[in-house]
Amino acid sequence: MHYFRHKGWEIAEREATPEALFLNRRALLGAGAGAIAASGLPAFAAEDSDPSASIYPARRNESFKLDRDITPEKLNAQYNNFYEFGMDKRIFTRVDTLKTRPWEIAIDGLIEKPFKIAIDDLLKKVQLEERLYRHRCVEAWSMTVPWTGFPLKQLVDLAKPTSGAKYVRFETFLDPKMGPGQKQSWYPWPYVEGLSMAEATNDLTLMVTGAYGKPLAKQFGAPIRLHAPWKYGFKSVKSITRMSFVAEQPKNFWQSLQSSEYGFWANVNPEVAHPRWSQATEEVLGTGNRIPSTLFNGYGEQVAHLYKGMESEKIWF
Ligand code: MTE
């Protein structure tokens, strides 16, 4: 007899959003486009003209199930953090200046041979899959997203890091014409984030190139972003142009701006409050519900071992 043990972040199949509801992209987009047209706002950024459009949707990896419904695409695509395009959530209204082709990612630092790779060449070298992930922001809201991407480990293997590499440092583009928010000189542009090598090669760590069964909309961080679902959302750097393997722990964007509030690890812990936001509960966007948050955002089985013996350190912010 088959016995399937649910992990902390999984739920019974019957509770998951019916596939048709979110895979029916045309219907969703149709409804969204109507509402947006009526509001006079621009439609979602043009994924249809994306040269990688034909490779989506990717096969779903059924091991990754959710304990709540998928956040409707329309809501997710109109509630984003992407400071290169402004400080409010209405990034979708002004993200058109982001040009996602040509797009090259530099892979450098402590690896056998530094190289650059165009996004469409990279997409040919990796195995894409869809995963349903929770997404938890330090501002105490959460969403659930059908991401498409590939485990970062695949890219680490391509890069062939040397033994001195202890961390991976990610960088977003630096071009104030493309991201006018970068004209705000008090921010430490470009946006930088980092992971330890153990985190980067953990199976949960996803390089995301699509969402809702198609290439990433610009406001989600096209053409490629990170998602480490057990960490606060700010770790999930968008529109990546550079990945460097380094020996020292990189200082991230928010840490550089306000080290009293933000650190490197940023693992979700409902018992450790951020100076401005309690982390005990989260608003599940689109549901009207505020629910208790969970340690490592519910992914403890996969990642708690990475922090054994480090509990007294600042691993929560
Ligand atoms: N990446 C870049 N380059 N710029 C940003 O401002 N914001 C971060 C993260 N990645 C950000 C970024 C924050 S604070 C969050 S919560 C998530 O992206 C938001 O992702 P979403 O808009 O897909 O929900």
Residue-level length of the chain: 317
Domain borders along the chain are 13-307
Predicted confidence band of residue 143 (pLDDT cuts 50, 70, 90): very high
d(C-alpha 115, C-alpha 126), whole Å: 16
Q: What is the pLDDT of residues 270-299, one digit of tens each?
A: 999 999 999 999 999 999 999 999 999 999
Percent over 90 (pLDDT), the chain: 82
If you average pLDDT over residues 262-268, what whole number do you get? 97
Choice among 34-38, 81-85, 223-227, 243-247 with the minimum mean pLDDT: 34-38
Q: Which residues pair with 172 in a beta bridge?
A: 240
Q: Which residues pair with 284 in a beta bridge?
A: 142, 289
User: Does ligand 1 have an atom closer than 6 angstroms to the CB of 172?
Assistant: yes
Per-residue model confidence (pLDDT) at position 48: 52
d(C-alpha 220, C-alpha 210), whole Å: 9
Per-residue DSSP letter, 249 = P
Entry pTM: 0.87
User: Does ligand 1 have an atom closer than 6 angstroms to the CB of 234?
Assistant: yes
With a CB cutoff of 8 Å and minimum separation 6, the contacts of 56 are 128, 148, 210, 213, 214, 215
Question: Coil, strand, or helix at residue 247?
Answer: coil
Phi, psi of 190 (to 5 degrees): -80, 165
Q: What is the dihedral of CA 27, 29, 35, 36, to 10 degrees?
A: -170
Return the CATH number of the domain spanning residue range 13-307: 3.90.420.10
User: Does ligand 1 have an atom closer than 6 angstroms to the CB of 220?
Assistant: yes
Alpha-helix runs per DSSP H in the chain: 19-23, 25-39, 73-76, 119-125, 152-159, 197-200, 253-257, 300-303
User: Does ligand 1 have an atom closer than 6 angstroms to the CB of 83?
Assistant: yes
Per-residue model confidence (pLDDT) at position 10: 40
d(C-alpha 98, C-alpha 113), whole Å: 29
Per-residue model confidence (pLDDT) at position 49: 80
Closest residue CA from atom 8 of ligand 1: 234
Task: Return the closest-CA partner of residue 77 out of 137, 32, 131.
Answer: 32
- The residue with tokens 């600042």 is 314
